[in-house]
A and B are shown apart, each in its own frame.
Chain A
Amino acid sequence: MELIPRATFEQIRHERVEEIAAARRQGAKVVGYFCIYAPVELVQASGAIPVRLMRGGHAAEEAGERYLRADACSFCSACMGNFELAPVYKQADAVLSVNTCDMMRRLPEAIERHFGVPVFQLYMPRTSEPLPHRLAGFRRQLEHLAGGLLGLTGSAAGVERLESEITAFNRLRDMLRQASDTRRADSPLLSGGTMLDIEATAWLLGPVKSLSLIEEVLRMVAARPRQEGRKPRLMLGGSMLTEDDRWLLDLVEEKADIVTDILCTGTRWFAEDVPADGMSLDRLARFYFSRPCMHRRPNTDLYRYTQTLVRDFRVQGLVYKTLLYCDPWNFEARRLQEALGIPMLHLDTDYSTENREQVRTRVEAFLETL
């Protein structure tokens, strides 16, 4: 039994999209973004509404193939399709894209060309060693972005406003961490599916509105008795699991507990706070530069992060869900398994729905081995 039914989250998100549409009619600007490297504090401090665009879906993927080749990663194809199909994508006055992987670097060009949505492209070094000139280069990109946002909203991200937003988003990170950490216990009450719903909803609602929702979840977890019996404790890995991938989490959690993840749509965004010392933009630069991800070179930090989670959350197995043609995550599957030394199920699929029963069989077989 879910703590909060999925339909409730969907209703909240639906209402929020309508609220955003109403705000736009009053002149507000919406900036859509894709991944954990987008400095949402800066967007919000500029007076725009940051909205994470994290929908997948088979219909969207098919629609996207009109614009991209079939061997573009499914998320990129679905992004293109969702600019036609998803109400929240249609609210974007601009898109903020960080050049993480090559496909995400090139996606904005296609969005701009085919949908006329202006793009802020933020260049972040792919190399992960935080050398001063790399951090300085990234900080300069943040300044450049602030200038672009000023042009969009007419409102500058002043120091006070930026500090306020850093505090607000740090508070959100803290609350999400608390929610996620409830899964350290045996037989966690908060499922991986609900956690994904909380995250997706928080990224849409923003830091203030989502706090009460998370507080409510935490109260429910505290009040509810734990179930008897133990299920295998799993980690989710891979790039993007979107709102439309909830079916996979439900399927896995029929017989296992998802206790943590290393997804692009998961814990890596809130694992730490933006640091407290230094000038606002410097802190944002340091924080976002240091987020671990598989595409960084070398990607040692992500391996370290993953190993820590495996230990702290007593993970027994990894479900590693990659998207077809997502090179940064696909290539590392074998190496990651060697590094972690725990059983791993690698599912490499697109968003098509025909293979779900095959996926079920593979998941069930995997869980039996645990």
Chain B
Amino acid sequence: MSNVGYSDPKSARVGFGEWLELFDRVPDELIERYHYYGNGEAWSKYLFPPQTFAIYGARHLRRLKFDNSLAALRMWGFVQNETERLFRARQTGRRVIATMGDLGAVPVIVNSFPGCVAFYPDCIWWTPFVMESRVLFDAAAELGIGDATCFSRAALGAFSKHSYFPDPDLVIASTGASCDDYSGVEQLAERFAQQMLWVEEPMRCRAEPTEPMVRLLVKEYERVVDTMTKLTGHELTEDELRAGIRCANAVRKTVARLRELAYGSGALPALEMMVVEFGNLHYYSDIAEWTAVLEHLLATAEERAATGERVLNEDGLRVVWVTPPADPLLLSYVEDAGARVVGTEYVINQALEVIDETKPGLEAVAESFMAASLIGTSEARAESVIRQARERQAEGVIISGILGGSHCAMETRLISDVVKQELDLPVLEFDVAPPSNEVGRQLQTRIDAFLEVLRSRR
């Protein structure tokens, strides 16, 4: 599709102010082109510059560095207006289903039901950082979850505020071999749920095949289907579920290619890639439009790869990032300091797996979930890090954690030890600080010193 005369400038990471200037050059026709929910109404437009969202409180956008392509602008606009989109979903008669905890599997089933939109309150964990505000943490504290725990507690605050997403028609809360923090959030969020379905997430046992756990999970997913059927009055067919799986796979395959291009050759920055990877969870509440956004990004990245143009210095210090940073500014900072993210372990392996389209739908979804990052051992996570580090010849590993996060407390040191032992690579471990308008000076020094070490080892 033509860009009506608009062409991307030479690829670069740009700041907030430069984006405003670039946006001025975007033709109106392009702005009019992009709508969510496949709808041509004026209310469903989303191609706005970061300034629009900063005005509504997303102050952190003023400090981040963005990819300067039209595709990236489109992505940010789409992602940033998800709250509005969820309220519109309710207004336009869609069922809004909160899926919690499993990070990737249940929305494949939910979205296969006509007129249903799944979303993860879990992803609200970025909101306090993007807004530079403690409001959601304070709300969570009033309900019993104080500071010494994971930032995912923001989701509980969001439930209590009733303004970050519409009150869901159904909450599907997955728990089991999962982190304690979020399981606790789910339990306390139950009071806000009109209806809550608890779903078991089995553990991936080392000494056993995964097959029995897959069978258990299929039974759990049958409960999801039953509950959704009662809610919607619609009997889900196997064909509908398979169609849902194909849509999810289209996203997952595109993201896999984007990972190759971005982490392999620096075609996209780490910040945009984090947003892209997390899109695999629930597609920012509109899978069709998200797929189109990703295809746009992929076309940009492919073109850069073909022309040898890079948004990041290919010679940057190659690092693998473990556990997603709640503060996105960290990714901008690390790239500014001369590093390039070449691999990630963002606790969402299950959402990156392509689902087997030849098997019965629920079984295939369950099998893909068994690749989940957090249901197995820390050693398994470490192996994933090692595999990526070897593949991309990483020079160091960064593990960002959260003070009080249950899995961070237990596995950070173990992953670090295994990586050092296997690869002899420097590892930087740190806890992300609470929301702020800058990366703390002490942490800046630690990151700078770490990168200096990597540089000196060349």
Contact = CB atoms under 8 A, between A and B. Distances in A.
Contacts of B199: 127
A102 B408 CA distance: 10
Contacts of B181: 327
A244 interface: no
Nearest to A105: B177
Contacts of A137: 202, 212-213, 216
Interface in B202-245: 202-203, 205-208, 212-213, 215-216, 219-220, 223
A144 B196 CA distance: 32
B377 interface: yes
Nearest to B405: A71
Nearest to A328: B180
A102 B201 CA distance: 12
A328 B145 CA distance: 10
B404 A332 contact: no
A333 B144 contact: yes
8 contacts: A71-B148, A102-B183, A103-B406, A105-B203, A123-B205, A125-B200, A127-B176, A133-B219
Contacts of A295: 180, 183
B410 A133 contact: no
Interface stretch (B185-193, B340-348, B357-365, B443-451): B185-193
Interface string A138-170: 001000100010000000000000000000000
A123 B404 CA distance: 24
Interface string B336-374: 000000000000000000000000000000000000000
Contacts of A102: 178-180, 183, 406-407, 410
Interface stretch (B91-99, B108-116, B305-313, B411-419): B411-419
Please indicate which of the listed interface residues B212, B216, B417 has the most CB atoms of chain A within 10 Å of its own CB: B216
Contacts of A121: 203, 205-206
A69 B408 contact: yes
B385 to A, nearest CB: 16
Nearest to B178: A102
Contacts of A148: 207
A311 interface: no
Interface of B: 143-146, 148-149, 173, 175-181, 183-188, 190, 196, 198-203, 205-208, 212-213, 215-216, 219-220, 223, 377-379, 401, 403-414, 417
A137 B213 CA distance: 8
Nearest to A131: B219
Interface string A51-81: 0000000000000000111011100100000
A127 B144 CA distance: 21
A103 B413 contact: no
Report, nearest first, the 5 A-B pairs whose CB atoms are least far apart: A334-B144, A106-B410, A331-B184, A327-B180, A102-B406
A297 B149 contact: no
A99 B213 CA distance: 15
Contact of B414 (A101, A110, A133): A110
Contacts of B200: 125-127, 134
Given A327-B406, A333-B144, A106 B378 contact: yes
A297 B208 contact: no
Contacts of B148: 71, 324-325
A270 to B, nearest CB: 26
A33 to B, nearest CB: 17
B212 A140 contact: yes
A335 interface: yes
A71 B408 contact: yes
Contact of B176 (A110, A126, A144): A126
Please indicate which of the listed interface residues A105, A106, A121, A127 has the most CB atoms of chain B within 10 Å of its own CB: A105
Interface string A100-129: 011101110110010000000101011101
Given A123-B205, A298-B190, A327 B409 contact: no
B306 to A, nearest CB: 45
A101 to B, nearest CB: 5
B202 A327 contact: no
Contacts of B179: 102
A316 interface: no
A113 B334 CA distance: 32
A339 to B, nearest CB: 11
A121 B408 CA distance: 20
A127 B224 CA distance: 14
A299 interface: yes
A67 B416 CA distance: 12
A71 B183 CA distance: 18
A101 B198 contact: no
B198 A71 contact: no
Given A71-B404, A99-B177, A327 B149 contact: yes
Contacts of A125: 176, 200, 202
Contact of A68 (B205, B208, B410): B410
B410 to A, nearest CB: 4
Contact of A103 (B202, B213, B409): B409
Interface in A260-289: none
A300 B321 CA distance: 39
B409 A71 contact: yes
Nearest to A113: B414
Contact of A126 (B175, B196, B405, B406): B175
A76 B413 CA distance: 14
A141 to B, nearest CB: 8
Contacts of B187: 297-299, 331-332
A297 B144 contact: no
Contacts of A67: 413
Contacts of B201: 126
B183 A328 contact: yes
